[in-house]
Amino acid sequence: MTALPKPVVRASSMAWRGGVLTASSRVLPEETAVVLTYDRVSFAVMMATPSDLRDFAIGFSLSEGIINNLSDITELDIVPLEMGIECRMTLTASKRDALQTRRRKIIGPVGCGLCGIDTLEQAVRPARKIMSEASIPATKLADAVARMSRLQTINHQTRGVHAAAFYNPLSDEILLREDAGRHNALDKLIGAASSVGVSAGQGAVLLTSRVSIELIQKTSMFGAPILIAISVPTARAVREAEAAGLTLIAIARDDGFEIFSHPERIIFEEAHAHVA
């Protein structure tokens, strides 16, 4: 039986530093073709880091609206193949029928970024409305972002993967997943959180990437009221977050962050707002 690949590998290289060429090596993140199948029919093929793939399969299924909860998947196996890995899922009868109807509407090939869709309406579907009234102190969010870096075990080795994390302000705990792809990292997080019964409506999603519309859509499907990222959002992401009732925070640095939508969820102990 083919074994699952390791998430990191060491590769040989030649380093040219200070005008001197020397033999070297570096630990790199692995990237593997992962096919997600439902009832033995392929739905999407993604390039992903081969770790936490059960979480990935569950999170992708949830964030893409294929299932509503874990019980909609009756079987889930991670099957290593010669050319990649299959996340082999079996759905309940009702979800299988709904997916078959969805498949019949797809004509032609689709890309990895927006799998299983064929119309502009599906690509820019409105994000699910966030109903949570949770609020979190700004200092706690800043501390969570700082702590997130220390939990990125694969990135510590490779400096080449993204992370998505969920911060629970009640327990002060952080749940984190990593992947070479930022969308994959978020799907893995959603799957992991759902598997352990995390209450998404009470906390915040943390990202090490920029924020695009797909990440807004996935976060809103998850139900987290706050999304905070270390890089910039797209303009469309800001508009979608505002419409969805999602608090979008970005450009998180050691000295603070910027809030782009719904700032009412952030508690400032000392309010010194300066509006130009």
CATH number at residue 82: 3.10.20.10
Indicate if 223 and 162 belong to the same structural domain.
Answer: yes
Percentages (nearest 5) of helix, strand, coil residues in the chain? 30, 35, 35
Note whether 237 and 216 are within 8 A (CB). yes
Backbone dihedral region of 39: left (phi > 0), alpha (psi from -120 to 50 degrees) or beta?
Answer: left
Q: Give the domain-ending residue among 123, 155, 183.
A: 123
Which own/partner pairs from 11-18 qualify as long-range (CB within 8 Å, at least 24 positions apart)? Answer: none
Indicate if 40 and 153 belong to the same structural domain.
Answer: no
> What is the per-residue pLDDT across 163-209, written as a single tens digit (0 to 9) for each?
999 999 999 999 999 999 999 999 999 999 999 999 999 999 999 99
How far, in Å, CA of 162 to CA of 152, rounded? Answer: 9
Q: Give the domain-ending residue among 123, 154, 180.
A: 123
Indicate if 95 and 152 belong to the same structural domain.
Answer: no
Catalytically active residues, by annotation: 112
How far, in Å, CA of 49 to CA of 105, rounded? Answer: 30
Enumerate the H helices of 124-223 as residue ranges.
Answer: 138-150, 153-158, 182-195, 213-222
Count CA atoms within 13 Å of residue 37 on its CB side.
15
Indicate if 149 and 202 belong to the same structural domain.
Answer: yes
Indicate if 181 and 90 belong to the same structural domain.
Answer: no
CA distance to 56, 212, 244, 265, per residue, from 235 (Å): 28, 8, 14, 21
Indicate if 231 and 259 belong to the same structural domain.
Answer: yes
Note whether 210 and 220 are within 8 A (CB). no
Indicate if 201 and 167 belong to the same structural domain.
Answer: yes
Note whether residue 253 is domain-resident. yes
Length in residues, the chain: 276
Note whether residue 23 is domain-resident. no
Note whether residue 211 is domain-resident. yes
Indicate if 171 and 240 belong to the same structural domain.
Answer: yes
Indicate if 82 and 162 belong to the same structural domain.
Answer: no
Question: What was the pLDDT predicted at 2?
Answer: 76
Overall domain count for the chain:
2
Question: What was the pLDDT predicted at 1?
Answer: 56
Note whether residue 275 is domain-resident. no
Tell me the residue ranges of DSSP E strands in the chain: 8-17, 20-29, 32-38, 41-48, 73-80, 85-91, 136-137, 162-168, 173-179, 204-207, 226-229, 247-253, 256-261, 266-267
CA-CA-CA-CA torsion for 85, 192, 49, 35, nearest 10 degrees?
30
Note whether residue 61 is domain-resident. yes
Note whether residue 272 is domain-resident. no
Indicate if 184 and 263 belong to the same structural domain.
Answer: yes
* C-alpha 100: how far from chain center: 25
Note whether residue 128 is domain-resident. no
pTM: predicted TM-score of the whole model, two decimal places? 0.89
Indicate if 119 and 82 belong to the same structural domain.
Answer: yes
* C-alpha 222: how far from chain center: 10
Note whether residue 12 is domain-resident. no
Indicate if 119 and 152 belong to the same structural domain.
Answer: no
CATH number at residue 166: 3.40.140.10
Which own/partner pairs from 68-75 qualify as long-range (CB within 8 Å, at least 24 positions apart)? Answer: 69/194, 70/194, 70/195
Q: Which residues of 13-29 are buried (b: 16+ CB within 10 A; e: fewer)?
A: eeeeeeeeeeeeeeebb
**Residues of the chain where predicted confidence (pLDDT) is lower than 50:** 106-114, 116-120, 271
Question: What was the pLDDT predicted at 126?
Answer: 75
Q: Give the domain-ending residue among 53, 88, 123.
A: 123
State which residues form the domain around 56: 32-123
Note whether 222 and 200 are within 8 A (CB). yes
Question: What was the pLDDT predicted at 108?
Answer: 39
